[in-house]
Amino acid sequence: MKLSLFYLLAFFGLVSCGSKTTPVEASAGTGDVFYASGFKIYEFDSTYSLTIGNDRFDFTKGEKSPKYFISSTTQLQFIKALNELDNIVGVFDAGYFKDSLLNKKISEGKIINCKHSSNPDWESLIKFPDATVYGSSHFDMNKSMAKKLNIRLIQINEYEEVSPLAKAEWIKVFGLISGKVHLADSIFKTIEQKYLNVKAIVSDSVSAPKVMAGEYYDGIWTVPGARSYVATLIKDAGGDYIVKESTKPVLMMDKEAFFSYLRKAHFWRKVSPENWQIQKITKDEINSTFGVYPEKLKSIIYCDLSKVNYFESSLLNPDIELKDMINSIHSVDSLKFYKIIPVE
């Protein structure tokens, strides 16, 4: 079965050359990837080559990967945008998916729940020899077992990108996979133009408002670094992201470090499932809750994950999130993903 599975994948032009294969050189022809740094596309006369890290995947033009095993809600958004939903055959950790149509297919048995990636239903995976598993750099599937069973794994790492447009550009990867290269390019060009149009309305202000971002989880503050899509979003909105000392995409801070930044900020971007019902908050209340007095804080730019499908909806609509951020730091309460909680 192992041998026949290999030839079946080879027939579809979808066999990975392995993580140790040297990626093709740029002189062979490079596809148009303008913002993302996590992948490269090379176009040849009859094939495309995709490189993600040290892994290379070859695709014959006109062919496609007919079936998907997916592991994240963002992967689902790329697939839906390309009208490929009917080609999903399985999901990992099904409970994390909130899409009603996808869940209906799961309940009807049309899509398999492959359980957790660390202990998947291997028997279900090998029932679809022409399918590919889509993971990420944190996907903890047993890669030795996957290789032994000739299960192909592609890492989708859009969340590691440092700008909203770079994240959205990963739709081009799914354009290759689905055989819909031109459609993916067209979708991305529309996303890019809409984002740049919104960005253009921001004037270069010397006195850009200072913005802090971060959430509290399990005893630690998780904060976007200076090289993160959140920092880029705030900059594009005309704000000054206050964390500049580290180039890491994510920082872990204790309370003292976090509030040393918040004390200087005019706005605090907070994304959390806490379901805050408050309409406003006083500086004294923040001081009593968190133990620090926010001297300059004007408002909290709050995204309630219990009510908003933020990570799914913002991925391919970065222009809407940018508009939200612009309106937030200029106190215009006309928002889709966020709400403004004034600090008095």
- Please indicate, yes or no, whether residues 223 and 108 belong to a single structural domain of this protein: no
Determine the pLDDT at residue 269: 95
Determine the pLDDT at residue 204: 66
Determine the pLDDT at residue 289: 73
Could you tell me the CATH number of the domain that includes residue 302?
Answer: 3.40.50.1980
- Please indicate, yes or no, whether residues 25 and 139 belong to a single structural domain of this protein: yes
Determine the pLDDT at residue 89: 95
DSSP string, 51-114: EETTEEEEEETT----EEEE--HHHHHHHHHTT-GGGEEEESSGGG---HHHHHHHHTTSSEE-
Residues 272, 305: contact at Cβ < 8 Å? yes
Within-domain flag for 70: yes
How do residues 297-314 score in pLDDT, each as one tens digit?
999 999 999 888 898 999
- Please indicate, yes or no, whether residues 242 and 312 belong to a single structural domain of this protein: yes
List Cβ neighbours of 284 (8 Å cut-off, separation of 6 or more). 293
Does the structure show a pLDDT above 50 at 318? yes
- Please indicate, yes or no, whether residues 179 and 231 belong to a single structural domain of this protein: no
Determine the pLDDT at residue 187: 97
Determine the pLDDT at residue 15: 34
Percent of the chain with pLDDT over 70: 89
Does the structure show a pLDDT above 90 at 241? yes
Domain C-terminal end among 192, 224, 258:
192
- Please indicate, yes or no, whether residues 109 and 142 belong to a single structural domain of this protein: yes
* Band of pLDDT at residue 205, cut at 50, 70 and 90: low
Determine the pLDDT at residue 22: 43
Phi, psi of 145 (to 5 degrees): -65, -40
Within-domain flag for 118: yes
Within-domain flag for 270: yes
Within-domain flag for 83: yes
Domain C-terminal end among 135, 162, 192:
192
Domain C-terminal end among 192, 212, 227:
192
Percent of the chain with pLDDT over 90: 53
Determine the pLDDT at residue 68: 94
- Please indicate, yes or no, whether residues 179 and 236 belong to a single structural domain of this protein: no
Determine the pLDDT at residue 226: 93
Determine the pLDDT at residue 142: 85
CA distance from start to end of the chain? 68
How do residues 67-76 score in pLDDT, each as one tens digit?
999 999 999 9
Alpha-carbon gap, residue 100 to 235, rounded angstroms: 35
- Please indicate, yes or no, whether residues 294 and 247 belong to a single structural domain of this protein: yes
Structural domain for 248, as ranges = 203-342
- Please indicate, yes or no, whether residues 140 and 26 belong to a single structural domain of this protein: yes
Within-domain flag for 198: no
Determine the pLDDT at residue 104: 94
Within-domain flag for 235: yes
Amino acid type, 174: F
* Band of pLDDT at residue 206, cut at 50, 70 and 90: low
Within-domain flag for 197: no
- Please indicate, yes or no, whether residues 208 and 122 belong to a single structural domain of this protein: no
- Please indicate, yes or no, whether residues 296 and 164 belong to a single structural domain of this protein: no
Pairwise pLDDT comparison (98 vs 17), residue with the higher score: 98
Give the lowest-confidence range in 17-26, 82-91, 92-101, 145-154: 17-26
How do residues 272-285 score in pLDDT, each as one tens digit?
888 777 788 888 88
The tally of domains found in the chain comes to: 2
Does the structure show a pLDDT above 60 at 196? yes
* Band of pLDDT at residue 1, cut at 50, 70 and 90: very low
DSSP annotation of 159 reads G
Give the lowest-confidence range in 3-17, 122-136, 208-222, 312-326: 3-17
- Please indicate, yes or no, whether residues 235 and 104 belong to a single structural domain of this protein: no
- Please indicate, yes or no, whether residues 232 and 251 belong to a single structural domain of this protein: yes
- Determine the average pLDDT of the residues in 30-47: 89
Within-domain flag for 171: yes
Alpha-carbon gap, residue 331 to 289, rounded angstroms: 24
What tokens were used for 199?
A: 């960005």
